[in-house]
């Protein structure tokens, strides 16, 4: 498949690996921000092919994983109401709230539906004017524009029985929060290419300068990741800290102006809680005053929520790169994808799920190898 297979070429991967091995003279710790990159790294064994002292730390870039427990519990409460059709992408249905998940609500009679686009939810609202249709709008700068556009369309078409339960988050404030943490070991970032395809790269030079860290915009295929690592360690070895774009086939410096304009119209920046991390100032979006009537939290009064995280789950440390998933005592025993304790074991982009899928049978602590990926 064009633009995928050529970015998995083993010979080219070996050349990039040779270059990385020839460049690195000291230990370096790099963080890949996005959960999609984490899965690619673990699936292809990229971390095991790098020089011994180059560590890839998995970042908090899994949208499902960072959605706060309180928001999940609100979703469960709203979805349980008889007048509500609750629509969501499928990966949210198994995310554990306090004591249950959306699948449980559905099995108890709640009208919970999996959709493939927020516009599907808007169509359901059009077809069922007597019901209240709620779409669960979570995620980073990548999923926020279509959700913003759906609310814009609802307003334009006068569809008043539609609302959005919003938990959108932004990457740059999370990088800032990680760098300000006293426990932070990160020396360079592989920034999330798809986020930058929407937002561009303007938000990153200030962070690179302030924290003296290279930030390299990186894609998702093995060659993309290796090129991101190659450019990051090259900067580190030279004592540089710039923003570089290693994903030019998708990312322009200015991003996607139409998507950014839609975000600016429909949302406003707000503080957001990140599951396992806490509140990060200015790290999210909520619906702006003009669109507030489409805010599910505004439309439905949801009170009396008391959240409780499973004591055994250490996903907060996993999300901050302080713990590798297989170092959690519950990994693969008390906690599996069928019986997840934390969202990082549920989501397609969760680090715990990646280790369970690709490393469970003894690979997690395997020594680094020298053969190429793919």
CA distance 98 to 94: 12
Q: Is 341 in the site for ligand SF4 (CB under 6 A)?
A: yes
Size of interface with ligand SF4, in residues (CB under 6 A): 16
Angle 348-353-356 from CA coordinates, rounded to 5° = 140
Residues 245-264 that bind ligand SF4 (CB under 6 A): none
Which one of 21-29, 80-88, 192-200, 336-344 is the stretch in contact with ligand SF4 (CB under 6 A)?
336-344
CB of 313 to ligand SF4, least distance (A): 3
Question: Coil, strand, or helix at residue 218?
Answer: strand
Residue nearest to ligand SF4 as judged by C-beta position = 342
Question: Between 218 and 344, whose beta carbon lies closer to ligand SF4?
Answer: 344
Q: Is 312 in the site for ligand SF4 (CB under 6 A)?
A: yes
How many C-beta neighbours within 10 Å does residue 83 have? 10
CA distance 155 to 298: 16
Dihedral angle, C-alpha 135, 139, 142, 146, nearest 10 °: 10
Q: Is 56 in the site for ligand SF4 (CB under 6 A)?
A: no
x/- string (CB under 6 A) for ligand SF4, residues 350-369?
A: --x-----------------
Question: Between 191 and 341, whose beta carbon lies closer to ligand SF4?
Answer: 341
Question: Between 217 and 341, whose beta carbon lies closer to ligand SF4?
Answer: 341
Question: Between 256 and 344, whose beta carbon lies closer to ligand SF4?
Answer: 344
Q: Is 314 in the site for ligand SF4 (CB under 6 A)?
A: yes
Question: Between 295 and 309, whose beta carbon lies closer to ligand SF4?
Answer: 309
Answer for which of 172, 214, 342, 372 binds ligand SF4 (CB under 6 A) is 342
Q: Is 145 in the site for ligand SF4 (CB under 6 A)?
A: no
CA distance 125 to 141: 25
Q: Is 345 in the site for ligand SF4 (CB under 6 A)?
A: yes
CA distance 148 to 156: 12
CA distance 150 to 164: 9
How many C-beta neighbours within 10 Å does residue 174 have? 24
CA distance 313 to 345: 10
Question: Coil, strand, or helix at residue 339?
Answer: coil
CA distance 269 to 169: 9
Which one of 9-17, 228-236, 267-275, 324-332 is the stretch in contact with ligand SF4 (CB under 6 A)?
324-332
Q: Is 283 in the site for ligand SF4 (CB under 6 A)?
A: no
CA distance 242 to 236: 10
CB of 356 to ligand SF4, least distance (A): 8
The DSSP line for 87-143 is EE-GGGTT---SS--HHHHHHTT-EEEE-SSHHHHHHHHHH-TTSEEEEEEEESTTT
Answer for which of 79, 115, 330, 354 binds ligand SF4 (CB under 6 A) is 330
Answer for which of 163, 187, 315, 347 binds ligand SF4 (CB under 6 A) is 315
Q: Is 331 in the site for ligand SF4 (CB under 6 A)?
A: yes
Query: Which residues of this protein are in contact with ligand SF4, per CB under 6 A?
Result: 312-315, 318, 325, 328, 330-331, 335, 340-342, 344-345, 352
């Amino acid at each position: 498949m064009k633009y995928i297979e050529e970015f998995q070429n083993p010979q080219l991967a070996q050349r990039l690996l040779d270059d990385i091995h020839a460049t690195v003279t000291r230990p370096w710790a790099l963080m890949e921000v996005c959960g999609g990159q984490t899965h690619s790294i673990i699936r292809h064994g990229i971390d095991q092919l790098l020089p011994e002292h180059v560590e890839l730390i998995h970042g908090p870039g899994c949208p499902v994983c960072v959605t706060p427990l309180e928001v999940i519990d609100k979703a469960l409460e709203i979805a349980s109401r008889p007048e509500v059709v609750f629509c969501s992408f499928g990966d949210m249905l198994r995310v554990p709230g306090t004591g249950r998940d959306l699948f449980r609500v559905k099995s108890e009679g709640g009208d919970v539906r999996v959709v493939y686009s927020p516009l599907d939810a808007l169509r359901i609202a059009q077809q069922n004017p007597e019901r209240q249709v709620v779409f669960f709008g979570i995620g980073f700068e990548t999923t926020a524009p279509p959700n913003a556009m759906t609310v814009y369309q609802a307003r334009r078409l006068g569809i008043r029985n539609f609302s959005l339960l919003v938990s959108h988050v932004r990457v740059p404030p999370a990088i800032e929060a990680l760098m300000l943490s006293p426990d932070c070991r990160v020396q360079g970032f592989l920034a999330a290419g798809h986020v930058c395809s929407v937002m561009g790269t303007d938000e990153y030079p200030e962070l690179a300068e302030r924290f003296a860290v290279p930030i390299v915009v990186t894609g998702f295929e093995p060659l993309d990741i290796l090129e991101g690592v190659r450019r990051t360690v090259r900067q580190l070895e030279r004592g540089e800290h710039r923003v570089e774009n290693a994903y030019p086939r998708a990312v322009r410096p200015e991003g996607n102006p139409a998507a950014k304009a839609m975000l600016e119209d429909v949302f406003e920046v707000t503080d957001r809680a990140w599951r396992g991390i806490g509140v990060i100032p200015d790290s999210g979006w909520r619906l702006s005053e003009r669109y507030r009537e489409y805010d599910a939290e505004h439309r439905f009064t949801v009170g009396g929520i008391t959240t409780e995280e499973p004591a055994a789950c250490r996903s907060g440390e996993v999300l901050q790169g302080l713990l590798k998933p297989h170092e959690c005592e519950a990994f693969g025993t008390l906690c599996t994808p069928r019986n997840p304790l934390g969202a990082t074991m549920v989501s397609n982009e969760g680090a715990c799920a990646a280790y369970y899928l690709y490393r469970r049978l003894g690979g997690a602590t395997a020594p680094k190898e020298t053969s190429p990926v793919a």
